[in-house]
Chain A
Amino acid sequence: MAKVLVFIDNPGASLKKSSLELLTLARSLGESTVALNGDLSDGAAATFAEYGVGSIVRPSAQDLDDFLVAPKAAYLAAAAEATGANIVLLDNSPEGKEIAARLGIRLSAGVITDVVAVDPDGTAHKSVLAGSYNTACKATTPVSVLTLKANNVTPVPAPAATTPQATTVEVPAVGATARITAREQKVASGRPDLTDARIVVAGGRGMDGDFGPVEELADALGAAVGASRAATDAGWISHDAQVGQTGKTVSPQLYISAGISGAIQQKAGMQTSKVIVAVNKDAESPVFEIADFGIIGDVFDVLPQAAAEIKKRKG
């Protein structure tokens, strides 16, 4: 049976859905230990028990958040060695991938990012080249480090709860490291998080400076708001909303693309969505080649009408 170490970073009062996905996958692969950073709240402790976590390790240092990833990687390497882990699972955020990168070197372990599924023998599945290929990859090393993309595992609590005990792992000293000297909190939009939203409504240059109709439709559907780079570069919406090669990669159940032409860099971030709907007034737009349902029409007519109809049907 594999020994799986799961990195959970600052869970706060309750775990994120993507963390529950990691715990569920870990349990399916073997015996799981959580390597925690940050406080162990009652809520988090209860969830670890509910998800069948065997044990918990915590770092000897409390200031890991002040640095860019090197100390977190050093901590995880020590935790993996202490627990004899042969698989380390992290989330697929930019930070998760960077920790995985450094951890891989420290453990001489193969790193596989953007994982969507893992077989019992450790083979990982992911898509590459902007979603045009599905591949199976495997680490050839005794330990493998995998980062799991959100929304690919259904969180399921364990059949029987556990009573995991926490132990402390000494964080080894690292050399010169980048330090975070200031953090500016961004205002929360109140909408679902783009990367793990079930539905995304995205707008492009065709929105011509007015994201109102995109936001209205998103809110009617309980969706996250996305955008093309043309829209974020123009400053119509925050860069955080950018979907694509240099923005976020999303694979929601439904992606509604509005006033976006469908350039390769945009497709790179959304073409693994389950269902794609496109609204564009140009019938020649490449986005129609990948749309399950395409409307040749004006976003300023179609979006408000759809939003009103949804509100009407939902009552």
Chain B
Amino acid sequence: MEGCCKTVEETLKIVVLVKHVPDAQFDRHLNGEGNTADRDESILSELDEYALEAALQLAEARGGSKAGNQVIALSMGPAGAVNAVKKSLQMGATEGVHLTDDALAGSDAAATSLALAAAVRHLGDVDLVITGMASTDGETSLVPAQLAERLGLPQVTFASTLEVDGGRLTARRDADTSSETVEAPLPAVVSVTDQINEPRYPNFKGIIAAKRKSITTLSLADIGVDPAQVGFAGSWTTVTTAEQRPPRTAGTIITDEGDAGIKLVDFLAAQKLL
């Protein structure tokens, strides 16, 4: 995406991608159309709260919204997804965007990244797009990298620290055998882990303030995306069958009477696990 985005001067315009997902505290099911998750009990994906917190901290360090810093919470999803945007506004995002369209139902990561890329472009010059490390329902972590590829931007994934200075970002990533320091020019797409910060709770002031903040609703037509490119029709993968695994049933439970360690070893031996 040549020339889409400016270099940072003093202020930052950050888009945070927030997804609304089925609440993991309840039983989750794939009984929606085309084996998609049903969304009766949905919340802002916990892992996206870390992304929002990271954005808020960067903005606050530069004087916050008064100094012209913007933190825009963007969620793509059905009507209920507006709740993820509202919660983000309560936490401190300066504005909210809800991308919603019937044609989006059933979008896989490729289709989701296509629609989100168009929405980000629609928002004009952006310095940073910050996402969670994974959605708690899809768990693929594909969207951030696909979004970066579509926007032609550098991606820094799984950041456990994030600093921005003079149009460049520095982040730390923990890989299995090493820790890496990574640098990239802005604009960039960054996904953050749950190690990066401790997300704030919306306070009373935040909840009141959120009521006055605007939420823009966008359709596919608004962002110039052909409905055939997204949803079930535009996705590049399809789920052909979904079977609920028989729930694990509890096995033998014993109470230690001084020899449970031995009984454990007997069990392992019987299972040929020694």
Contact = CB atoms under 8 A, between A and B. Distances in A.
Tell me whether A and B are bound partners: yes
Interface of A: 68-70, 73, 93-95, 97-98, 100-102, 104-106, 108-114, 123, 127-141, 175-186, 188, 193, 199, 221, 239-240, 245-246, 253-254, 264-265, 268, 271, 275-277, 279, 283, 288-298, 301-310, 313-314
A68 B137 contact: no
B174 interface: yes
Nearest to B133: A246
7 contacts: A69-B145, A136-B242, A139-B236, A140-B237, A176-B184, A245-B136, A305-B261
Interface in B186-241: 188, 193-195, 235-241
Contacts of A303: 261
B152 A134 contact: no
A294 B25 contact: no
B261 A176 contact: no
Nearest to A306: B261
B140 interface: yes
A266 to B, nearest CB: 11
Q: Is the interface of B mostly helix, strand, loop or mixed?
A: mixed
Nearest to A273: B248
A10 B255 CA distance: 49
Given A102-B145, A104-B146, A305-B262, A137 B238 contact: yes
B110 A105 contact: yes
Interface stretch (B56-64, B71-79, B154-162): B154-162
B269 A313 contact: yes
Contact of B157 (A94, A184, A304): A94
B264 interface: yes
Contacts of A289: 248, 250
A129 B37 contact: yes
Contacts of B254: 293-296
A68 B154 contact: yes
A104 B109 CA distance: 10
A262 to B, nearest CB: 11
A152 B62 CA distance: 49
B257 to A, nearest CB: 9
Most B CB atoms within 10 A — which of A97, A178, A297?
A: A178
B183 A181 contact: yes
B113 to A, nearest CB: 7
B25 A140 contact: no
Q: Is the interface of A mostly helix, strand, loop or mixed?
A: mixed
A70 B188 CA distance: 13
Contact of B149 (A105, A130, A185, A314): A105
A235 to B, nearest CB: 12
Nearest to A312: B265
Contacts of B141: 94, 97-98, 101, 113
Contact of B25 (A104, A186, A264, A302): A264
A134 B146 CA distance: 25
Nearest to B265: A309
B250 A291 contact: yes
Given A68-B154, A254-B273, 18 more contacts: A94-B158, A101-B144, A110-B110, A111-B109, A123-B240, A137-B238, A140-B235, A176-B154, A178-B156, A179-B184, A181-B170, A245-B134, A264-B25, A288-B253, A290-B248, A291-B250, A296-B256, A301-B258
Nearest to A304: B261
B260 interface: yes
Contacts of B185: 176
Given A177-B184, A178-B154, A275 B271 contact: yes
B177 A185 contact: yes
Nearest to B256: A297
Contacts of B184: 68, 176-179
A276 B181 CA distance: 37
Given A111-B110, A140-B236, A297-B256, A313 B274 contact: yes
B268 interface: yes
B180 interface: yes
Contacts of B248: 271, 276, 289-290
A69 B253 CA distance: 47
A284 to B, nearest CB: 11
Contacts of B244: 132-133
A104 B236 contact: yes
Nearest to B150: A105
Q: Top 3 nearest A-B pairs by Cβ distance?
A: A305-B261, A297-B256, A110-B236
B265 A313 contact: yes
B251 A291 contact: yes
B274 A134 contact: no
Contacts of B188: 176, 178
Nearest to A113: B140
B260 A305 contact: yes
A186 B185 CA distance: 27
A184 B172 CA distance: 11
Nearest to A185: B178
A175 B188 CA distance: 12
Nearest to A254: B273
A303 B260 CA distance: 9
Contact of A128 (B113, B139, B180, B182): B139
A100 to B, nearest CB: 8
Contact of B267 (A132, A246, A277): A277
B142 interface: yes
